[in-house]
A and B are shown apart, each in its own frame.
Chain A
Amino acid sequence: MSFSSISFLFLFMGLVCLCYWLIPRQYQTAKLVLLFVAGLLFYTWGDAKALPVYLLSVLFNCFAGAEIGEVLDEEGTRPGDPRPQRAKVRVIFAAAADLAVLALFKYSALAMPVGISFYTFSAMSYLFDVYYGRTEDRGNFLTACFYITFFPKLISGPIVEYKDMAEQIDYRTLSSSDFTIGTTKFIAGLFKKVLIADNFQALVADISGKQTMAAGTAWLCMIYYSLELYFDFSGYSDMAIGLARIFGFQFDENFNYPYLSQGLTDFWRRWHISLGRWFRDYVYIPLGGNRKGKQRQIINLCVVWILTGVWHGSTLNFVFWGIYHGCLIMLERFVVPGVERWPAAVRIFFTDLLVGIGWIFFFCPGLGASVHFMGQMFGAGGLGFVNKETVYYFTGNLVLLVAAVICCGPGLKKLNAKITASGQAGRVVSTVLVALLFALTIAYMVGSTYHSFLYFTF
C-alpha cells in the first residue's frame, strides 16, 4: 500500500488515526498495539507473500537483540566499557545473518520483499545500539518489535536509529499541535509526490525511451530525473515524518534542500540524511572514521561508498555510482584546494551538475546504457544541441520546471512560517492554503493513474 493512494488516505490512514486518537491518553500500550497491528496490515496490503519472511526477520532480530542485552547484563557491562567477546560474537552473527538474507533477496532471482533494505537496516540499528549500550532498555523485545514494524517508516524509511526512537516509544506526548504539524507535513509530501514527481516521471519515461535525441533533450532529461527523484523520495519522507508526528513521534528531516548544497560532502549531509547517518554511525566510525590517519580515512570512505552503492541496487551501475560519489568526496576533501572560497552560486552549480550526472546511473538500466546516454548529452545522437523536440519538452513543461525549482528551496516554507506567525488571521490563511493544496492534490490523484515510489525498489 502506498501513502499516495486513495485507499490509504481515506480508509487506512483515516481509520488508524481516528482509533489512535480515540484511545485515551493513559492507555499508551493499547495505542502501540494498534500501531503494531496497523503496521502488519499495511505490510500485508503491500506484499502479502513476503509477510512470513518479514515477520520472521522481525522476530529473529528482536530475539537476537534481547539475547545480546542479557549477555551484557550477565557480564555487568556498562555503556563505556569494552564489549565482552560473547556479545561481540552474537552481534556479528546476527548482523551477518541479516545481511545474508538481504543480499539473497536483493541480488538473486528471488522476488524481493517490499522494504527489505529499510527494515533490515532498522533491525541492525537496534542490534548495534543494544550492543554499544546506546539505549537504556538493553534490548526490550516489545519495544524493538514496535520500532521495526512502525509503518510510517517501514517501506522507504527514513531509517530512524533505534536509540532515537526507543525513548519516544516509552515516553511521548501527543498534542493537537503534533496533529497540525504532522498533517501539514504529510500534505506537503503528498503534493511533492503527486503534483511534481509524478509529472516528471511521465516526462522522463517519455524522453529516456528514445534511442537518439538532441544533446539538449538529454540534458533536460537529466534535470527532470534529478527533480523527479528528489520530489519523489523527499515527498515520501515528508509523508512518513508527518504521519509519525500525527502519532506523536518526532523524526529528524531526511532531506534538507539538497540541491542548494555547496559541495558533495554538504550534499550528503542534506540528501537521504538517515542513510548517511546510518553508515556514519555503524560503519564509518566503528572502522575508525578519520581518527586513524588519512590513509585509513580514505579506505573507510571507500568502504562506505561502495556499500552505499551496493545498498541501492544489484547492478554494476549502482556500484559505479557509489564509487563515483566516493571519489568526488575524496577529491573535494583532499585534492581540490580552496573549494570553500569559491562563490556560493558556483559551488551550488557544480554540485548539482555532478550529482545530476551521477543520477544517470540510477535511471539507466545498465552501465552500457548510462554511457550511451552520456554520449547523447554530448551530441552522439547526431541531432545537434537543440531541436524541435528539445523546445517542446522545455517550453511545454516550463511551469512545472519553475514550480519545482521554487520548491527546491526554503522560500515557500519561510513564507508559510511568516504568514502563520503574523497572528490569528495568518494561521487561518495558512490552514486554508494547506487545505486547498490537499484538495488540489486529491483531485489530481483521482484523475490520474497510480505511480509507485522510486525508492520502493531499493
Chain B
Amino acid sequence: MQKRTLYAAGKFAALALIVLIIVRMAASDRVSRTGFSAMTDAVTADFQTDHVLEGQAQMVRRLYGLDPSAYDGVLLYYPGTNMDCEELFLVKLKSTDQQDEVRAAIESRKSTQLDNFNGYGTYQYGMLQQSVTEIDGNYCLFVCADNADTIKQDFLKAL
C-alpha cells in the first residue's frame, strides 16, 4: 500500500512537472509553421521601400555579422543613402537556440545606427529609438520605419 502510494505520488509529480514545462515552453518557445515567403509578404505589405535597397548575403554579413546560410531564411532591406535609416531585417531561425545570437546582432546594428545619427540626425535618431525588435520562437524581426508598430502587428499576426 505504502509503495503504491509512493509510485502514484511520483507519477503525478512527474506529470505535473511535464505540464509546467510545456506551459513555459508554449509561452516562450513557440515555433511558427508560417513559411518564410508568407512571412516576407506579411511584413513587407506595409513597409515603404522608397528609401531602402534589398540586401544580399554579403550585406547581411557586413551590417549584422551573421551568415545567412545558418538560417532558414533571411530578408534585409537597408537604408538607400547615408541620410536614410529605414531598415527591415527578418530572420527565420533553424532552431530557437539561435535567438540570442540574432538578438545580439540586431542590438549591435541598432546601437551603431544610433551612434551614427546621434547629434545631427534628430528625425532619424527618433525613428531608430522607436524601432521595433521582436523575437518570437523561430522568427526575429527588426524594423525601423515610421509605421514600425503596424509592421510589428503584421508580423505577429502572420506567426
Given contacts A101-B22, A109-B30, A111-B29, contact A60 B11 (CB under 8 A): yes
Binds B, one of A50-58, A298-306, A370-378, A387-395: A50-58
> Which residues from chain B contact A64 at a C-beta distance below 8 Å?
7, 11
CB distance from A232 to the nearest CB of B (A): 20
> Which residues from chain A contact B15 at a C-beta distance below 8 Å?
56, 60, 97
> Which residues from chain A contact B32 at a C-beta distance below 8 Å?
109
**Total A-B contacts with CB atoms under 8 angstroms apart:** 62
Are the C-beta atoms of B8 and A59 separated by less than 8 Å?
no
CB distance from A93 to the nearest CB of B (A): 9
Given contacts A63-B7, A67-B7, A70-B7, contact A111 B96 (CB under 8 A): yes
Residue A241, interface by CB 8 Å:
no
Selected from B4, B10, B21, B97, the residue in CB contact (under 8 A) with A71 is: B4
Residue A336, interface by CB 8 Å:
no
How many B residues are at the interface, by size bracket?
Answer: 20 to 34
Give complex CA distance A141, B3 in Å: 12
> Which residues from chain A contact B31 at a C-beta distance below 8 Å?
109-111
> Which residues from chain A contact B79 at a C-beta distance below 8 Å?
none
Are the C-beta atoms of A67 and B8 separated by less than 8 Å?
yes
Selected from B18, B29, B137, the residue in CB contact (under 8 A) with A57 is: B18
| Chain A contact residues, majority secondary structure | helix
- A residues 81-132 touching B (CB-CB < 8 Å): 94, 97, 101, 104, 108-111
Residue A170, interface by CB 8 Å:
no
Are the C-beta atoms of A63 and B25 separated by less than 8 Å?
no
Give complex CA distance A59, B148 in Å: 47
CB distance from B139 to the nearest CB of A (A): 11
For B74-101 the 0/1 string (1 means CB < 8 A from A) is 0000000000000000000001110000
The residue of chain A having its C-beta at the shortest distance from the C-beta of B9 within the complex is: A63
Residue A49, interface by CB 8 Å:
yes
Selected from A49, A67, A94, A101, the residue in CB contact (under 8 A) with B18 is: A101
> Which residues from chain A contact B96 at a C-beta distance below 8 Å?
49, 111
Are the C-beta atoms of A53 and B18 separated by less than 8 Å?
yes
Residue B105, interface by CB 8 Å:
no
For A210-222 the 0/1 string (1 means CB < 8 A from B) is 0000000000000
For B116-136 the 0/1 string (1 means CB < 8 A from A) is 000000000000000000000
Give complex CA distance A71, B5 in Å: 10
Are the C-beta atoms of A63 and B10 separated by less than 8 Å?
yes
Selected from B14, B25, B97, B137, the residue in CB contact (under 8 A) with A56 is: B14
The residue of chain B having its C-beta at the shortest distance from the C-beta of A57 within the complex is: B18
Residue B62, interface by CB 8 Å:
no
Residue A66, interface by CB 8 Å:
yes
The residue of chain A having its C-beta at the shortest distance from the C-beta of B3 within the complex is: A70
Are the C-beta atoms of A56 and B10 separated by less than 8 Å?
no
The residue of chain A having its C-beta at the shortest distance from the C-beta of B17 within the complex is: A56
Selected from B1, B8, B21, B137, the residue in CB contact (under 8 A) with A109 is: B137
Are the C-beta atoms of A110 and B11 separated by less than 8 Å?
no
Give complex CA distance A63, B25 in Å: 24
The residue of chain B having its C-beta at the shortest distance from the C-beta of A97 within the complex is: B15
> Which residues from chain A contact B17 at a C-beta distance below 8 Å?
52, 56
Are the C-beta atoms of B25 and A111 separated by less than 8 Å?
yes
Residue A252, interface by CB 8 Å:
no
Are the C-beta atoms of B11 and A56 separated by less than 8 Å?
no
> Which residues from chain B contact A70 at a C-beta distance below 8 Å?
3-4, 7
> Which residues from chain A contact B97 at a C-beta distance below 8 Å?
49
For B20-35 the 0/1 string (1 means CB < 8 A from A) is 0110011001111100
Told that A94-B11, A111-B31 touch, could you supply 12 new A-B pairs with CB distance under 8 A?
A: A52-B21, A56-B14, A56-B15, A63-B7, A64-B11, A66-B3, A67-B4, A67-B11, A70-B7, A104-B22, A109-B31, A109-B32
B: residues with CB less than 8 A from A are: 1, 3-4, 7-8, 10-11, 14-15, 17-18, 21-22, 25-26, 29-33, 95-97, 137
The 4 closest A-B pairs by CB, nearest first: A67-B7, A60-B14, A63-B10, A63-B11
Q: List 12 A-B contacts (CB under 8 A).
A: A49-B97, A53-B18, A60-B11, A60-B15, A60-B18, A63-B14, A64-B7, A67-B7, A94-B11, A97-B15, A110-B22, A111-B29
